[in-house]
């Protein structure tokens, strides 16, 4: 049986968007982030981070640094009993300094739905029962293109309050 998923953008939803965050000191959780992920876990959602990471393409940090930072985020959430089931990142950009990341419109880079579609296929997810929480129009467009309900998280919000409203509404 296919399971519902909660697709979560990283910067601006789970962590404070400080402008290409990639160092441990830049990992600042949004208020209510861990509680929100735990609430989604308890409600039966597979939790998946889907994040554009053009900082890699722009040469600001390496792909290895990005993976390490994402792993640190997963660990930090787990310390509060919140489980992230998968992380998908798109390090591509049309103006990448490194050729292997240069692409005019990579299928994984939101607003394209590639990361969501891969997760749906790889984790046997039901897009019709899934949701996406993002802070940018590109997040909502990627959700729409993947057949997933998109919800815009407001800047300065509490993620757990936001998720609680989605689950009861």
Q: What residues pair up with 4 in beta bridges, in sequence order?
A: none
Percent of the chain at pLDDT > 90 equals 98
Instruction: Verify whether residue 11 is a known catalytic residue.
Output: yes
SS3 content of the chain, % helix, strand, coil (to 5): 40, 20, 40
Domain boundaries, the chain: 5-168
The average confidence (pLDDT) of the chain is: 97
Distance in angstroms (rounded) separating the CA atoms of residues 165 and 160: 9
What fold does the segment set 5-168 form as a domain? Rossmann fold (3.40.50)
Residues 21-56: tens digit of each pLDDT: 999 999 999 999 999 999 999 999 999 999 999 999
Q: Which of 9, 17, 135, 139 is catalytic?
A: 9
Active site residue 139: no
Q: Report if pTM > 0.85.
A: yes
- Per-residue pLDDT of 133-162, as tens digits, reads 999 999 999 999 999 999 999 999 999 999
Tell me which H or E stretch contains 47.
strand 46-52
Q: What is the pLDDT of residue 102?
A: 96
């Amino acid at each position: 049986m296919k399971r519902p998923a909660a697709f979560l953008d990283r910067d601006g939803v789970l962590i404070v968007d400080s402008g290409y965050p990639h160092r441990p000191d830049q990992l600042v959780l949004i208020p209510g982030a861990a509680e929100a992920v735990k609430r989604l876990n308890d409600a039966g959602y597979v939790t998946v981070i889907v994040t554009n990471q053009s900082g890699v393409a722009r040469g600001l940090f390496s792909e290895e640094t990005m993976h390490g930072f994402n792993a640190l985020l997963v660990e930090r959430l787990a310390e509060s009993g919140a489980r992230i089931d998968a992380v998908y990142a798109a390090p591509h950009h049309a103006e990448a300094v490194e050729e292997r990341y240069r692409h005019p419109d990579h299928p994984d880079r939101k607003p394209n739905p590639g990361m969501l579609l891969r997760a749906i296929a790889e984790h046997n997810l039901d897009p019709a029962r899934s949701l996406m929480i993002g802070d940018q129009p590109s997040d909502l467009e990627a959700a729409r293109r993947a057949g997933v309900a998109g919800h815009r998280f407001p800047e300065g919000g509490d993620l757990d309050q936001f998720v609680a409203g989605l689950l009861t509404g």
